[in-house]
């Protein structure tokens, strides 16, 4: 009876132990399974989070988002050349004339600095008629003025009448009368007055010096202010004239001929600079007298 009881007790205890072991195993298994499941869940969660992070990072670092923008190639801007200065061939002549007027004003040769500069185109005149002269209108009719010109002359005859050959100016000219100032090729400088087509009388004359003949050249300058006239040859004042009868009229350039051979006497007026101190009436066309 005791053995049975002990046996039974042992058996019951063993079963108890087995039950406990089974329970523990199940618990362990359950825990293990739960742990594995949780780990897997965590790993999956981590994988998801990492994937999302990677996706987000990938999006954030998308090279297309930070790609360098290549500028669109268009036409290059047109290169505009720097404008070439327009040459003013008369600028130096005008400046030189202004300086001349200033010097003449300082030395008392002109009464005023006020005026304007005018360049006149070259004029060529010839005449083949002994002891006659003719003239060409400059296109201007100044009252008070300074005119400066380089003149070249030539005679077709070496034995021409040199005191009746020369080049010069006509001023304050009308249809019936004018003043005349000229350099004769005998070296004399004359002021005269023409009335009704003939030389009425000489106002004054003075000898300059011997000049070239049958050809030569010089710089001539005429200064007219009121009733007072000055004639310069190569910047030297040679003769002065005084007259009050003519107060206005045209300015022209004249040739005086001492021969009727071939083309006679020829005068070429170049580099003509006119300074008008008192404006006259400009003419639109040239006429010959």
Q: Are residues 123 and 253 in contact, defined by beta-carbon separation less than 8 angstroms?
A: yes
Total domains in the fold of the chain: 2
Q: What is the per-residue pLDDT for 198?
A: 79
Percentage of residues of the chain with pLDDT beyond 70: 66
For residue 2, being part of any structural domain is answered with yes
CATH number of the domain to which 194 belongs: 2.60.120.560
Residue pointed to by tokens 């011997």: 210
For residue 286, being part of any structural domain is answered with no
Q: What is the per-residue pLDDT for 199?
A: 77
Given a cut of 90, whether residue 68 has pLDDT beyond it is no
Q: What is the per-residue pLDDT for 147?
A: 98
Better pLDDT: 30 or 184:
184
Rg of the chain in Å (alpha carbons):
59
Specify the DSSP element, H or E, that contains 154: strand 144-155
264: pLDDT confidence band, cut at 50, 70 and 90?
Answer: very high
Mean pLDDT of all residues in 228-243: 95
The 10s digit of each residue's pLDDT in 280-289 is 444 444 444 4
Q: What is the per-residue pLDDT for 186?
A: 94
Q: What is the per-residue pLDDT for 76?
A: 65
Given a cut of 60, whether residue 139 has pLDDT beyond it is yes
CA distance 289 to 276: 22
Given a cut of 80, whether residue 26 has pLDDT beyond it is no
Q: What is the per-residue pLDDT for 77?
A: 67
Domain match, 101 and 194 both? yes
Given a cut of 70, whether residue 162 has pLDDT beyond it is yes
For residue 287, being part of any structural domain is answered with no
Mean pLDDT of all residues in 135-146: 95
Of 80, 112, 130, which closes a domain? 80
Mean pLDDT of all residues in 241-255: 94
The 10s digit of each residue's pLDDT in 202-219 is 889 999 999 999 999 999
Q: What is the per-residue pLDDT for 89?
A: 76
Mean pLDDT of all residues in 112-127: 94
* Range with lowest mean pLDDT among 27-41, 99-113, 235-249, 254-268: 27-41
Q: What is the per-residue pLDDT for 196?
A: 85
For residue 271, being part of any structural domain is answered with yes
- Residues 6 or more apart from 75 whose CB is under 8 A from it? none
Given a cut of 90, whether residue 269 has pLDDT beyond it is yes
Given a cut of 50, whether residue 29 has pLDDT beyond it is no
Domain match, 158 and 19 both? no
Owning domain of residue 222: 93-278
List the end-to-end C-alpha distance of the chain, in Å, as a whole number.
184
44: pLDDT confidence band, cut at 50, 70 and 90?
Answer: low
Report how far Cα 74 is from the mean position of its chain's Cα atoms. Answer: 34
For residue 87, being part of any structural domain is answered with no
CA distance 180 to 178: 7
Q: What is the per-residue pLDDT for 150?
A: 98
Domain match, 23 and 102 both? no
Given a cut of 60, whether residue 192 has pLDDT beyond it is yes
For residue 288, being part of any structural domain is answered with no
Cα dist from 283 to 111, 181, 246, 252, whole Å? 26, 21, 18, 12
Domain match, 230 and 118 both? yes
For residue 262, being part of any structural domain is answered with yes
For residue 179, being part of any structural domain is answered with yes
């Amino acid at each position: 009876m005791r053995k049975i009881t002990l046996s039974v007790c042992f058996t019951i205890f063993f079963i108890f132990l087995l039950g406990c072991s089974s329970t523990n195993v199940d618990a362990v298994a359950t825990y293990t399974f739960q742990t594995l499941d949780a780990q897997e869940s965590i790993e999956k969660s981590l994988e998801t989070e990492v994937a999302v992070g990677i996706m987000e990072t990938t999006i954030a670092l998308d090279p297309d988002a930070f790609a360098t923008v290549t500028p669109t190639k268009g036409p290059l801007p047109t290169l505009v050349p720097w404008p070439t200065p327009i040459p003013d061939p008369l600028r130096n002549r005008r400046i030189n004339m202004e300086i001349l007027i200033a010097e003449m004003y300082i030395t008392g040769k002109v009464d005023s600095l006020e005026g304007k500069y005018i360049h006149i185109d070259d004029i060529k005149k010839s005449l083949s008629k002994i002891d006659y002269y003719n003239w060409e209108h400059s296109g201007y009719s100044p009252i008070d003025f300074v005119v400066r010109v380089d003149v070249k002359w030539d005679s077709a005859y070496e034995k021409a009448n040199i005191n009746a050959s020369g080049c010069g100016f006509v001023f304050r000219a009308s249809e019936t009368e004018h003043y005349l100032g000229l350099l004769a090729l005998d070296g004399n400088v004359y002021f005269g007055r023409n009335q009704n087509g003939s030389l009425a009388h000489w106002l004054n004359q003075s000898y300059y010096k011997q000049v070239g003949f049958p050809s030569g050249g010089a710089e001539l300058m005429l200064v007219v202010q009121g009733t007072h006239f000055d004639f310069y040859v190569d910047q030297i004042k040679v003769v002065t004239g005084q007259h009050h009868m003519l107060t206005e009229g045209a300015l022209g350039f004249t040739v005086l001929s001492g021969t009727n051979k071939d083309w006679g006497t020829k005068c070429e007026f170049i580099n003509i600079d006119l300074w008008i101190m008192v404006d006259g009436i400009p003419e639109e066309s040239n006429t010959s007298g």
